[in-house]
Amino acid sequence: MQIQENISLKKLNSFQCEAKASYFVIVQTKEALIEAIEWANAKGITFLIIGGGSNILFTQDVSGLVIKMEIKGIHKSNETSSAVFLTVGAGENWHHFVQYTIQKSWGGLENLSLIPGTVGAAPIQNIGAYGVEIKDCIDTVYAYEVISKKLIELDNAACQFDYRNSIFKKEKNKYIIYAVQFKLQKQPHLNISYGAIREQLYKQHITNPNLENVSQAVVAIRREKLPDPSLLGNAGSFFKNPMITKAQYVELLTNYPNIVAYPISDDSYKIAAGWLIEAAGWKGKKIGPIGSYDKQALVIVNYGNGTGKEVYNYSESIIQSVQEKFGVQLEREVNVY
């Protein structure tokens, strides 16, 4: 185990904000992961796992040990007449893994193409896009339970998946994920319920899409609409879409007939946070080096050498402004440290 000291995390987070880790280590096996956690515990310091750093905002230096997850490997662990089970190391790149499944013609992950980050981080916030959530394809999560010092398996129900949430996000640093077992379809059921995908397929004159067509449509939409973190610092959607009651929705609709919202149940609605932020006047607005992206207001971007504190303060101003205008509380999706 090679522990390094006083390491810059600027290139290891997609916001590209400067922060120093007092200690830093890369782990490529589960044994090395356990050794690193035990090392931090013995030293009496905290530890923080990072994958691709695409859902993290560093507002200060990290005084403990940063553990970069690089456990690799994809293998077929089981197969039935309708499904294939793949066990994948937490440090595999998410999009590369999705592309691998598409080449094999196994369905389920195509709508989640081009999401940055690692396989091990995917269950943390139950990544989702274009009507699909990763919970629909997760069979088992393999984790190191920090308190009991045991390697454990969590089935889908034990992960307590919810909208951009899971037991791993609710109880941070209790379980460290070292592998995930996915269950994919041999006869794919495509989900093209989101208008953007249907429009993209229509533009390409594709009437009978396959897995690859859907994946490529998603990639094209995302390249068009979202900033590439290697060129412009960001962590995707900064806030979750708020859920409100039907009564609140009806009241908002009276004052704002163009509001973008989707029914979730008989009594709840999901409002597009991007619409609220745009309608509150933030789209494209810059304060120093920080701004709300001009093609999608939900994405906060770092145009230069902005600090994590500046990003945080900008997000705080958006929260206050949306609360004042609409009476709706925005919640951050990005993990703030």
Choose, by CB under 6 A, the member of 11, 262, 265, 324 that binds ligand NAP.
Answer: 262
Phi, psi of 36 (to 5 degrees): -65, -45
89 binds ligand FAD (CB under 6 A): no
Task: Give me the catalytic one of 70, 110, 133, 333.
Answer: 333
Q: Clarify whether 164 is annotated catalytic.
A: yes
166 binds ligand NAP (CB under 6 A): no
Q: Give the residue with the Cβ less far from ligand FAD, 234 or 315.
A: 234
Q: What are the residues whose beta carbons fall under 8 Å from the beta carbon of 241, sequence distance 6 or more?
A: 163, 270, 271, 272, 273
Q: Are 118 and 103 in contact (CB under 8 A)?
A: no
Minimum CB separation of residue 266 from ligand FAD in Å reads 26
Minimum CB separation of residue 182 from ligand FAD in Å reads 14
Q: Give the residue with the Cβ less far from ligand FAD, 12 or 276.
A: 12
Q: Clarify whether 237 is annotated catalytic.
A: yes
Q: Give the span between the Cα atoms of 237 and 120, in whole angstroms.
A: 19
Which residue, chain included where needed, has tokens 């522990």? 3
Q: What number of other Cβ atoms are within 10 A of residue 16's Cβ?
A: 19
Q: Are 70 and 14 in contact (CB under 8 A)?
A: no
Minimum CB separation of residue 68 from ligand FAD in Å reads 9
**234 token code pair:** 């960001």
Q: Which residue is nearest to ligand NAP (CB)?
A: 236
194 binds ligand NAP (CB under 6 A): yes
How many C-alpha atoms does 122 have within 13 Å on its Cβ side? 36
What, of ligand FAD, ligand NAP, none, does residue 111 touch, CB below 5 to 8 Å by kind? none
Task: Give me the catalytic one of 237, 292, 315, 332.
Answer: 237
128 binds ligand FAD (CB under 6 A): yes
| Window contacting ligand FAD (CB under 6 A); options: 17-25, 98-106, 233-241, 282-290 | 233-241
| Window contacting ligand FAD (CB under 6 A); options: 2-10, 115-123, 187-195, 267-275 | 115-123
Q: Give the span between the Cα atoms of 98 and 107, in whole angstroms.
A: 10
Q: Which of 11, 18, 9 is CA-nearest to residue 310?
A: 18
DSSP H helical segments within the chain, as ranges? 30-43, 94-103, 167-170, 195-203, 211-225, 246-255, 273-279, 308-326
Binding footprint of ligand NAP, residue count (CB under 6 A): 19
The two beta strands, 56-57 and 335-336, are parallel
Site string for ligand NAP, 287-326 (x = CB under 6 A): ---------x-x----------------------------
How many C-alpha atoms does 256 have within 13 Å on its Cβ side? 15
214 binds ligand FAD (CB under 6 A): no
Choose, by CB under 6 A, the member of 99, 126, 215, 241 that binds ligand NAP.
Answer: 241
Q: Give the span between the Cα atoms of 186 and 195, in whole angstroms.
A: 25
Minimum CB separation of residue 15 from ligand FAD in Å reads 8
Q: Give the residue with the Cβ less far from ligand NAP, 25 or 242.
A: 242
Amino acid at 220: A
Coil/strand/helix, residue 233? strand
Angle made by CA atoms 101, 116, 127, in degrees to the nearest 5: 75
Q: Which of 77, 79, 50 is CA-nearest to residue 65?
A: 50
Among positions 132-171, residues that touch ligand FAD (CB under 6 A) are 168
Footprint on this chain of ligand FAD (rule: CB under 6 A): 14, 48-56, 69, 90, 115-118, 120-122, 124-125, 127-129, 168, 176-177, 226, 229, 234-236, 335
Footprint on this chain of ligand NAP (rule: CB under 6 A): 128-131, 193-194, 196, 225-226, 236-237, 241, 260, 262, 272, 274, 296, 298, 333
Active site residues: 164, 237, 333
